Amino acid sequence: MEDQIMDAASSSGRTENDTLFDAPPMAEQERMVEAVLFASAEPVTLRDLEGRMPPGCNPREALEHLRKRYEGRGVRVVRLGDAWAIRTAPDLGFLMQKETTELRKLSRAAIETLAIVAYHQPVTRAEIEEIRGVSVSRGTIDQLMEMDWIRLGRRRMTPGRPVTFVVTPDFLDHFGLESARDLPGLKELRAAGLLENRPPPGSLPLGQGGDEDDEAEEQAELFEE
Amino acid sequence: MEDQIMDAASSSGRTENDTLFDAPPMAEQERMVEAVLFASAEPVTLRDLEGRMPPGCNPREALEHLRKRYEGRGVRVVRLGDAWAIRTAPDLGFLMQKETTELRKLSRAAIETLAIVAYHQPVTRAEIEEIRGVSVSRGTIDQLMEMDWIRLGRRRMTPGRPVTFVVTPDFLDHFGLESARDLPGLKELRAAGLLENRPPPGSLPLGQGGDEDDEAEEQAELFEE
Amino acid sequence: MAEQTLFSEADTSVEERLAAEALIVDVDGFEGPLDLLLTLSRTQKVDLRKISVLELAKQYLAFVEKAKELRIELAADYLVMAAWLAFLKSRLLLPPDPEEEGPSGEELAAHLAFQLERLQAMRDAAARLMGRDRLGRDFFGRGEEESVARIKTVTYTANLLDLMQAYARIRTKEDFRPFVMDRDSVFTMEEALDRMRHLLGFTGDWTDLISYLPDGWHSDPVKRRSATAATFAASLQLVKEGKAELRQSETFAPIQLRSLDEDT
């Protein structure tokens, strides 16, 4: 069918009209209209199409072909006032639900808490508070759990048997990590220029003192494959 | 042709498989995939498609049909790793001056670093430095990560367990690559031994050999399907 | 001889001399010694696989010499490379010593050639990559994302950089707080002086200075160090005031103190 249109366009060009002589075949014009409608952020007017396409093109005809081609497909060529656009077929609207999610930046408290869980897991709430230097609100933890980025780990075998938090596979997925072990350490962050400031020379090492051995052991367990 | 497939899908559903029984015909699945891909500016993963389509659908097969259907058209169905997207045909770029986005100017160091990550992935910072013969400046890695063209890979199982870098689906999308295997000249470079991390004989001022076996394996994994 | 290849005016054209000068003046424009070597290797006009590493070493050393003459400061890694190339050159020129350990000159030269070829290959690859049809320039994504407002869910998001920077911020906060002495483990000289003035009266005999440390300051090394220093400083003050005398039998022996105050 395209061949027929192409022939018609080029033969009419050859015989009747000098400006049409150099115009691309209709199939090519249809491709152009298709690409422009797809990539444009707004519906495109005929005049706009004419302005963009090579001289001698007939966007109206190309649009008609394109509209026919998309009949019954998952998307349609629709006319909106004097402009044209490609739109999802109305019966498939149910597939578009995901497009309506609103993205919001995570709060500073949440991202800091998340970072501490990622780097120190399994970590208790008290430990998170000690590292951040401020208390962690219930809501922050709840939010991160609801997002399925952190979950409860094993209880710590210390008095009170506090619950611990670890990151989830969803977290790894979202941040494009193979495992939490792949997070760069402070030295690596600094080397990569991710730390704006440098510590004064001779400052103490950054590691938390205390029961590091204990923790390291537990971490090793957690990170084993 | 689609009709045949449709029949095959629905008849097998009727006779063999209860979960397939309710799956829409393949032509309908193709419409769905078409609608979802058209509606989204970002590549859509196979997993995402599966999640959005009715149970029993086979988006991979639908995608193959759709890809064939759009061959030679103004827009194309392209594969980017595990994700799929619709993109305009490159030969029609001249129509899109309005849509052209100012590409961020990258330094020579950043471009070289990007190429090294793409061809040598997973690659450590030390290896990048060995290949370029200079240290990677502050901010180069940072910039490439911010652009979402490289991300952290698995840590290398060598002393110090250094972090590695790999390229992202966004990188593939930007450069129109179906997968890292399709990097231009990859085969030739590999055949010429230029992607090896050849340990220097004795000690060299520039050398820092890696664990080659480990790395070769990891690379193979990455460049495989 | 090496000078000739780069800097002799007799057999080089004006263009080549200009290029050579540009090399020198623009040494900052090189991304390290390997980049410089790669540029120099182009004067050989051969396949990188057939390059003469010996010739290249000579050119590099001549370059470094010239830079010295012109009093251009070369970064340390250029000088390290120069030293290494001088070593390589001697290895390549001298007959191999059967006694000598380590890789041969040829092996070292081959590896350098490999490094140059690999760097060039990566540069070519980078150029090909950047020359590809690119999203947003040659081909385009959907201009108008469709939004069918059905379910409105709020998704919170953050990227890896946010996460890593947040962590770095927390963990380095400590480094940048204003300097404050940790009062918990510091025993001041004033405190020590108070304590010793009080205790000195009861000890007419020579007494080990350590016995003046307050209770609870012995075991923790940080506290012990602070208390010892304060007590020692306080004892010096007492000696200065003529209220006590100090003695030590030999280096590192215990320091002993006794009261001089006859009245108390």
Each residue's pLDDT tens digit in chain A (225 positions)? 444 444 444 444 444 444 546 789 999 999 999 999 999 888 899 999 999 999 889 999 999 999 999 999 999 999 887 889 998 898 888 887 655 556 678 888 898 999 999 988 889 998 898 888 888 888 889 989 988 899 999 998 888 889 999 998 888 887 878 788 888 877 777 776 655 444 434 444 443 333 333 444 444 444 433
Residues of A with a Cβ under 8 Å from any B Cβ are: 30-36, 38-41, 52-53, 73-75, 86, 88-89, 92, 95-99, 176-179, 181-184, 188, 191-194
ipTM exceeding cut-off 0.85 for this assembly: no
Pairing of strands C154-157, A102-105: parallel
Average pLDDT over residues B6-15: 41
In degrees and rounded to multiples of 5, residue B137 shows phi and psi of -75, 155
- Residue C163: the pLDDT is 82
Contact at CB, B185 and C34, closer than 8 angstroms: no
Percent pLDDT > 90 in chain C is 9
Contact at CB, A95 and B155, closer than 8 angstroms: no
pLDDT tens digit sequence for C75-99: 788 888 999 999 888 888 887 777 7
Q: A48, A52, A53: which is closest to A28 by C-alpha? A: A53
- Residue C249: the pLDDT is 85
| In contact, C167 and A114? CB cutoff 8 Å | no
> Distance between CA B154 and CA B127 in Å, rounded?
15
Counting as contact any 3 or more CB pairs under 8 A, the partners of B are A, C
Looking at CA atoms only, how far is residue C146 from chain B in angstroms? 5
- Residue B46: the pLDDT is 92
Peptide bond before residue A24 is cis, with ω within 30 degrees of 0: no
| In contact, B173 and B85? CB cutoff 8 Å | yes
Query: Does the CB of B191 have a partner CB in chain C at under 8 Å?
Result: no
- pLDDT above 80 (res B58): yes
Angle between helices A108-120 and A138-146 (to 10 degrees): 70
Q: Choose between A210 and B204: higher pLDDT.
A: B204
Mutate to test the interface with B, among A73, A103, A224 (most CBs of B within 10 A): A73
pLDDT tens digit sequence for B149-189: 999 999 988 888 889 999 998 899 999 999 999 999 999 99
Chain B hits for C118, Cβ within 8 Å: 131, 194
- Residue A216: the pLDDT is 42
Q: How confident is the model at residue B16 (pLDDT cuts 50, 70, 90)?
A: very low
Nearest residue in chain A measured CA to CA from B53: A95
E-strand spans in chain B? 44-45, 75-80, 83-88, 123-124, 150-152, 164-167
Average pLDDT, chain B: 82
Q: Which residue shows structure tokens 């005999």? A: C205
- pTM of the predicted protein model: 0.61
Nearest to B125 among A75, A179, A191 (CB): A191
